[in-house]
Structure 1
Amino acid sequence: MRIIYRQHAIKRMHERCISEIDVEQAIETGTIIEAYPNDTPYPSALLLGHAGNKAVHVVYADSVDEDIRIIITVYEPNPEIWLEDLKTRR
């Protein structure tokens, strides 16, 4: 599956010092913690993964017909918003 980064994701990754390699590692190690099946134009999901010792949340949408994963945004989970497991919102 080919990965495409939205401009918003690229901007946020730059601001947050998160690389494409970090995102790829997070996707490889990650699990979906929230699904958004009604999002358009494609269903999307929030994934928690790890890049080294860094926890990373990746919001993405898959276009199965086109074999494309669209990265919408990427960030390190904020402990003020997420419980210690980084999967559950406060």
Structure 2
Amino acid sequence: MILQFIEDYPEDPRGNSCLVLGYLGPGRPLHAVCGMDPSGTLVIITVYFPEPPKWINERNRGKGD
């Protein structure tokens, strides 16, 4: 699986985190917000399907977001 970095959230109250894009299959994008705990372990904060109206497509936010 190829993962793509979409956004960085350096000011996240939970600590520095980022939005990663992956695919479950053709045409099935999936977003995961990830961070690192103090020991350097990857922490999955949330996972969701990017859907309108919040997302125009898997890489671009909709209006007002």
Does the TM-score normalized on the shorter chain lie above 0.5? Answer: yes
TM-score by length of 1: 0.58
Name which structure has the greater RCO, CA cutoff 8 Å, separation 6+: 1
RMSD: 1.7
Q: Quote the Cα distance in structure 1 between the aligned partners of 2:13 and 2:35.
A: 9
Structure with more of its chain in strand, by fraction: 2
User: What residue ranges of structure 1 are gaps of 5+ in the alignment?
Assistant: 1-24
Structure with more of its chain in helix, by fraction: 1
Query: How many residues are treated as equivalent by the alignment?
Result: 61
TM-score by length of 2: 0.76
Runs ≥4 residues deviating over 3 A: none
| Number of the residue aligned with 2:34 | 60
Q: Summarize deviations over 1:55-85 as a string: whole Å, max 9, x none.
A: 100011123x51311111101111322123x
User: What residue ranges of structure 2 are gaps of 5+ in the alignment?
Assistant: none
Distance change >3 Å, CA 37–CA 81, structure 1 → 2 = same
